Amino acid sequence: MNDNYLNKIINDDCLNHLSNLEESSIDLFLSDIPYGICLDDWDVLHNNTNSALLGTSPAQNGKNGFKRRGKPINGWSSADRNIGKEYQEWVQKWSDMVFPIMKEGAFQFVFGARRTIHRVVNAFENSGFLLKDILAWKKPSAHHRAQKFTNILRNRGLEEELEVWNGWRLGNLAPIYEPIAWFFKPYKITITDNILKHGVGAINTEECKINGSNPTNLLEFGFSKNENKLHEAQKPLELIEFLIKLTTRENQIVLDPFIGSGTTALAAKRLKRNFIGFEINEGYCNTAIERVDDKAAFPHFYELEKEHILF
Ligand X SMILES: C[S@@+](CC[C@H](N)C(=O)[O-])C[C@H]1O[C@@H](n2cnc3c(N)ncnc32)[C@H](O)[C@@H]1O
Binding site for ligand X (CB under 6 A): 13-15, 32, 34, 42, 231, 233-235, 257-258, 260-261, 263, 278-281, 284
Bridge pairing between strands 177-184 and 130-138: antiparallel
* Residue nearest ligand X, CB atom distance: 260
Of 248 and 261, the one with the shorter C-beta distance to ligand X is 261
Single out the residue of 186, 11, 19 nearest to residue 98, CA to CA.
19
Return d(Cα 262, Cα 84) in angstroms, integer: 27
Residues 255 and 26 sit within 8 Å (Cβ to Cβ): yes
Minimum distance of ligand X from residue 91's CB (angstroms): 11
Closer residue to ligand X, CB minimum distance, 30 or 246: 30
Shortest distance, CB of residue 292 to ligand X, whole angstroms? 12
By C-beta, is 135 or 153 nearer to ligand X?
135
CA distance 108 to 66: 33
Please give the span between the terminal C-alpha atoms of the chain, in angstroms, as a whole number.
20
Cβ–Cβ under 8 Å, residues 28 and 105: no
Q: Quick one: 105 or 112, whose CB is closer to ligand X?
A: 112
CB of 69 to ligand X, least distance (A): 16
Task: Kindly state the smallest distance separating residue 202's Cβ from ligand X, in Å.
Answer: 25
Measured from the CB atom, the residue of 13 and 193 that comes closer to ligand X is: 13
3-state secondary structure 266-294: HHHHHCCCEEEEECCCHHHHHHHHHHHHC
Shortest CB 237 distance to ligand X, Å: 8
Q: Which is nearer to ligand X, 32 or 187 (CB)?
A: 32
Q: Could you give the C-alpha distances from 223 to 145, 153, 230, 234, 247, in angstroms and in order?
A: 22, 39, 12, 10, 21
Please spell the DSSP secondary structure of 233-264, one letter per residue: T---HHHHHHHHHHH--TT-EEEESS-TTTHH
- To ligand X, the closest distance from the beta carbon of 239 in angstroms equals 10
